[in-house]
Structure 1
Amino acid sequence: MSEHKGYPQLENGRGSLRAIQVWVNDHGTESVDLVTTQLSLRGKLKWVSPIRSNSMAEYRDVGFLERVGVSDKLTVPLGTFWPSRGPQWDGLGVTEAEEVILVEAKANLKELKSPGTKAGEQSLALIRQTLDEVKDGLGIGVQFDWTKTYYQYANRVAHLYYLRELNGIKAFLINVYFIGDQSVKGPSSVAEWQIAIRRMKKMLGLDYPNILQPYMYDLFIDVQTMKGIT
């Protein structure tokens, strides 16, 4: 089966779309070194999305599993865990030690809050069932609704759970928060981001230790230190 070609992205965009492209492609050495150090990766990291020679394509569903080389290593098929049109990852990386890096990027506070899921009845039933399973596995109570305000963050966490806990894949989730992006009037400090992130995690019940916490990282990158961002 041929690999999914992904979803090409514009290279002259702004905000997190542009920032993650520049960070991965024009600051590859720095980004690889930073992520490798923060995650204590055992293998050499290689970014596989977004890549300039591949039209800055992003991946979702089976396509992202193929892109990181784990589609043939799954115990639980993705279709039984999540319906189609799942998370479209801002970035993906792999290492020689078969570690998988999932990247979500943000450049302004509004991006943290996402509309609740608009899935149809059948898809919504599977999503709710899955999110309840993930919350139970993380020791999070049913009073926390993951289908509302912070649904995007929640479904990224769910996919990390899918890879690590259900399929034994050595996966990590990195949330990259860009500082000082004037193109979208983004936060000017780490502290500004951290206040909003703490609020989000509290609303999701993720403000206490859980089995995924060692594999989830927040990185803060000042766009003023990045050449090629303008």
Structure 2
Amino acid sequence: MGKLGNGYGSEFHLLRYLEFDRVSLNSAIQTTTCSEDVEWLPGPPDPRNPGKLREWKGLNFLSHNVPLQSAWRKIWPSTGNPPNWDGVGRVQIGGQWQWLLVEAKAHEGEVASLCSASSEHSRAQIAATLAATKQALGVSPERDWLNGYYQYCNRLAVLNFLHEQNVPAHLLFIYFIGDKSGSGRNCPQTETGWHDVLERQREHVGIPNTHPLQDRVHNLFLPVQGPCGVMGPRN
């Protein structure tokens, strides 16, 4: 998620749902994840802007789990920019609360990404972790996870790490329909409009149709909202 747009962009739309129509958002998430309930974790306070909250980064929402933090530092750089979550919450499935890590997109440009780690050591550490994730999910080692769709791949790496640490979690990608970002951006106006984008991603990443985390990775397509939380038209 990038800079907050005034009336457009994935961050704006997600915050609008959370503020004006959390009931509909939670209901859609429950249907998508087959869960009974959803709760959201407020972001950490921003020390530079009192009263404002920041995005959760990496696994700092689990800072109380010292052994897990130690294991994470062994496989991911402690410097640079870790995965930033557009939202963190929990879903209740079978009476058990499980973590929900949310990534939101509003236009095609938000899907493509490259690894920007400048340190050779950090890049090698990331590459090793991505390679281990590919092996765990049955992906060919030749697939390039550092370029093309790096953000999607490092989110899978986080989910796989939590799975291996016996921390129940789900990864939710929210794709907004009907954004008006402009500036030449391709903003899908229908759910079908996202399908080609995601198919190109799937072919590049090489995720098989069946893999150990398939029940924990979800796609949710949501129409953007108009003024005061009113749903925008769905074409």
1:5-44 Cα shifts (integer Å, max 9, x gaps): xxxx8585730111111122322111112212221225x3
1:95, CA displacement in angstroms?
A: 4.1
Contact residue 89 and residue 101 of structure 2 kept, 8 A: yes
Query: Could you say which residue in structure 1 is the equivalent of 2:61?
Result: 64
Contact residue 21 and residue 56 of structure 1 kept, 8 A: no
1:158-181 Cα shifts (integer Å, max 9, x gaps): 1110111x2111100000000101
Which residue identity does 1:59 align to in structure 2? Answer: W
Matched, 1:167 2:168: no
For residues 58 and 75 of structure 1, do their structure 2 counterparts lie closer, same or farther at Cα, with a shift above 3 Å needed? closer
1:225, CA displacement in angstroms?
A: 6.5
Query: Could you say which residue in structure 2 is the equivalent of 1:80?
Result: 74
Contact residue 59 and residue 69 of structure 2 kept, 8 A: no
Contact residue 16 and residue 178 of structure 1 kept, 8 A: yes
Unmatched 5+ stretches in structure 1: 1-8
Contact residue 108 and residue 197 of structure 2 kept, 8 A: yes
Unmatched 5+ stretches in structure 2: none
Which residue identity does 1:71 align to in structure 2? Answer: N
Relative to structure 2, which stretch is displaced further, 20-29 or 53-62?
A: 53-62
Query: Could you say which residue in structure 1 is the equivalent of 2:29?
Result: 35
Calculate the TM-score normalised by the size of structure 1. Answer: 0.84
1:168-207 Cα shifts (integer Å, max 9, x gaps): 1110000000010113451111111011101101100114
CA distance in 2, matches of 1:47, 1:226: 23
CA distance in 2, matches of 1:72, 1:98: 20
CA distance in 2, matches of 1:175, 1:167: 22
- Of the three residues 39, 42, 47, the one matched with 2:40 is 47
Relative to structure 2, which stretch is displaced further, 16-25 or 51-60?
A: 51-60
Query: Could you say which residue in structure 1 is the equivalent of 2:216?
Result: 215
CA distance in 1, matches of 2:70, 2:34: 27
Which residue identity does 2:209 align to in structure 1? Answer: Y
1:197-229 Cα shifts (integer Å, max 9, x gaps): 011011001142111111111100011468448
1:63-111 Cα shifts (integer Å, max 9, x gaps): 2324xxx635738621112113210000110246330000000000111
Matched residue of 1:100: which SS? strand
Calculate the TM-score normalised by the size of structure 2. Answer: 0.82
Relative to structure 2, which stretch is displaced further, 171-180 or 52-61?
A: 52-61
Matched, 1:152 2:151: yes
Query: Could you say which residue in structure 2 is the equivalent of 1:116?
Result: 115
Number of residue equivalences = 217
For residues 156 and 210 of structure 1, do their structure 2 counterparts lie closer, same or farther at Cα, with a shift above 3 Å needed? same
Relative to structure 2, which stretch is displaced further, 173-182 or 79-88?
A: 79-88
Relative to structure 2, which stretch is displaced further, 142-151 or 218-227?
A: 218-227
What pairs up with 1:191-230 in 2 under 5 angstroms?
A: 191-224=192-225, 227-228=228-229
Contact residue 55 and residue 85 of structure 2 kept, 8 A: yes
CA distance in 2, matches of 1:95, 1:211: 19
Matched, 1:92 2:88: yes
CA distance in 2, matches of 1:72, 1:28: 32
Contact residue 61 and residue 87 of structure 1 kept, 8 A: yes
Which residue identity does 1:78 align to in structure 2? Answer: W
CA distance in 1, matches of 2:189, 2:218: 20
Matched residue of 1:175: which SS? strand
